[in-house]
Amino acid sequence: MKNTIGKNVAITVFGESHGDMIGCVLDGVCAGVSIDMEFMLKQLDKRKPQGSISTARKESDMPKIVSGVFEGKTTGTPITILMENQDQKSKDYSSLKDIARPSHADYVANIKYHGYQDYRGGGHFSGRLTAPIVAAGAVALQLLQQKGISIGTHILQLYNVFDDAFSSNAEELKHEIDKVNTMYFAVLNEYIGQKMEETIELARLQQDSVGGVLESAIVGLPSGIGEPFFDSLESVISHYLFSIGGIKGIEFGSGFSFANMYGSSANDAFRYEHGNVVTTTNHNGGINGGISNGMPILVKTVVKPTPSIAKEQETINMQTLENTTVAITGRHDPAIIHRARVVQDSLLALALVDMLTEVYGTSWWMPCMD
């Protein structure tokens, strides 16, 4: 469905980097939820560039909710969130109109839209469109919170620097999630975090960029969520997450490490523990047969290095049909992984809210139904 995803709770995203506005419509949220605007702004802050590790572009990202909320509470009808584009500096891009920036969408957009796309700043393909997703995700996260479901994401790897992995102990994991959710540069080991920031700074100085790996954990998700075939939790979650521009890989639980394991090591043994069913390991990342088994859901994604770099690169001029070079001189991020983190949390939340609604219905979420 192109720019809409979700069956019972759906999000539609629109806008271009240098157009008038970007925004989204979030449809299917139950009525009566007090929107926590402070939380929404905090979430948006996590996506904002900060310090020298990010672009100097100042985006206000101030969300304006123009429908679906009345007297501070959701009405049950579509929630529309708008954000004005203020610090556009469109002139930065006019010289790039015909130049296909390597690994950006410029070339494919030019093919797909026959030259009619808004080319300024990546247009509809700009990472800027993740801002409304974060705003909508804040609503989804609030819904999940209310049902005891938490999501947290940290930077597991940045170039050649590695953070500790999430704990396999349930209690500790909860604390770790709470901790990273308060951080801008989300890592478990803050010393490692510093090393990572230095690595980004180093890339910036070299007119270059770096990527990394995000690790997310979801705790509190009831077992039985996900559908047997085409709507396996893995299918749905990956569908949502691959809409983030820079993500090029995803794995659940042990993921690609499964390739090196024997079945006897890879299998997660079930056990009754204090009346609950647990698995003694969690190689499958909380998902069996596409359905949640009550253990933490574990997801990793790889975020490629930001394609916008100041270094000169070979490319083509789409107008003159000639080979040329480009050095992208605008304000750009030497890394976006720390900013992509909250987008990942947001899309995970939106995916889960939709999946849960299929099983429990819209009415399940109603605060007054508690």
User: Which of positions 204-233 make contact with a copy of itself (CB under 8 A)?
Assistant: 206, 208-213, 223-224, 226-232
Residue 330 in the binding site for a copy of itself (CB under 8 A): no
Whichever of 7 and 175 has its CB closer to a copy of itself, that residue is 7
> Which residue's CB is nearer to a copy of itself, number 58 or number 248?
248
Query: Which residues are CB-neighbours of 204 under 8 A, at least 6 positions away?
Result: 52, 53, 334
With a CB cutoff of 8 Å and minimum separation 6, the contacts of 289 are: 228, 232
Q: Which is nearer to a copy of itself, 55 or 284 (CB)?
A: 284
Please, which residue, 189 or 243, has the CB nearer to a copy of itself? 243
Q: Does residue 203 interact with a copy of itself by CB under 8 A? A: yes
Rounded Cα distance between 271 and 161, Å, is: 36
> Is 191 an interacting residue with respect to a copy of itself (CB under 8 A)?
no
CA distance 253 to 281: 10
Binds a copy of itself (CB under 8 A): choice among 311, 319, 327, 329: 311
Least CB distance to a copy of itself at residue 175 (A):
26
Contact region for a copy of itself (CB under 8 A) — 54-62, 146-154, 157-165, 188-196?
A: 157-165
Interface segment toward a copy of itself; rule CB under 8 A; list 42-50, 136-144, 185-193, 278-286: 278-286
Binding residues for a copy of itself, total number by CB under 8 A: 151
- Residue 45 or residue 72: which is nearer to a copy of itself going by CB? 72
Span near a copy of itself by CB under 8 A; candidates 35-43, 44-52, 178-186, 270-278: 270-278
**How remote is the C-alpha of 355 from its chain's centroid?**
17
Q: Rule CB under 8 A: which of 5-44 touch a copy of itself?
A: 5, 7-8, 10, 12-16, 19-23, 25, 27-28, 31-32
Candidate list 200, 303, 348, 352; residue touching a copy of itself; CB under 8 A:
303
Residue 166: which of 183, 184, 158, 178 has the closest Cα?
Answer: 178
Q: Which of residues 53-92 bind a copy of itself (CB under 8 A)?
A: 64, 66-68, 70, 73-80, 82
- The helix-helix angle for 130-146 and 337-360 (nearest 10°) equals 50
SS (H, E, C) 42-68: HHHHHHCCCHHHCCCCCCCCCCEEEEC
The secondary structure of residue 231, as a DSSP letter, is T
Query: Measured between alpha carbons, how far is 268 from 275 in angstroms, rounded to an integer?
Result: 18
Q: Over the Cα atoms of the chain, what is R_g?
A: 21
SS3 135: helix
Distance CA 30, CA 281 (A): 36
Q: How far is the CB of 169 from a copy of itself (least distance, A)?
A: 19
Nearest residue (CB) to a copy of itself, 42 versus 92? 92
CA dist 54 to 102, 210, 340, 355, Å?
20, 12, 12, 34
The amino acid at residue 328 is I
Residue 355's nearest CA partner among 149, 123, 77 is: 149
Positions 98 through 137 that interact with a copy of itself (CB under 8 A): 100, 102-105, 107-109, 111-118, 122-125, 129
- 1 part of the interface to a copy of itself, by CB under 8 A: yes
